[in-house]
Amino acid sequence: MSTTQLILLIVAIVAVLVVIAIVAKSASRRKEAQRLEEDRSRAQDLRHEASASGAAVHDSDLQAREATVEADRARLEAEQAQARAAEAQQGVQVEEARQEDRVREADRVDPDVNTRADDYDPSLTNPNGAPDDRTDPATSTDQRRTDPTP
């Protein structure tokens, strides 16, 4: 082989390699462009799905807000009921105090009751929880006065 033929062979090999490189680069670019287009299409589909689920998110948000309002309303009603119960309990305590005052006054006036005794109890119930018979003068058997003077 002559030098000219050798040079032509090298040029031909280089030309074939350049053509192969150009074809490979072109195929790579087409493949990359196709992949980018698929990614764009997939992104568009995802955006469409997100947009469609936006209404569901809005509905869920609305339901959550309504539940919060309902819970706040129930909390307010519970606080008001608690305040009414505390007021009623205070009323009961006031009435119990008034009743005790009346019983103490009655016991103070009653010559058969020793209000200075250590076991003096101004309640209208006996230790067993039954009504005290001091409330009915006909059946009164109160023996709590311990001093002998009437």
> How many domains in the chain?
1
More confident residue, 123 or 74: 74
- Widest distance between CA atoms in the chain: 160
Query: Does 140 reside within a domain?
Result: no
User: What residues make up the domain containing 104?
Assistant: 9-110
Q: What is the pLDDT of residues 16-66, one digit of tens each?
A: 999 999 999 999 999 999 999 999 999 999 998 888 888 888 889 999 999
Q: Is 128 contained in some domain? A: no
Q: Tell me the residue length of the chain.
A: 150
Q: Could you tell me if residue 47 is inside a domain?
A: yes
Q: Does residue 92 fall inside a structural domain?
A: yes
Secondary structure element (H or E) that encloses residue 70, with its range: helix 3-109
> Is residue 125 situated within a structural domain?
no
pLDDT, tens digit (0-9, with 9 covering 90-100), for 103-148:
998 988 988 888 888 888 887 665 555 555 555 555 554 444 444 4
Output Rg (C-alpha) for the chain, integer angstroms: 51
Q: What is the spatial distance between Cα 13 and Cα 21, in angstroms, rounded to a whole number?
A: 12
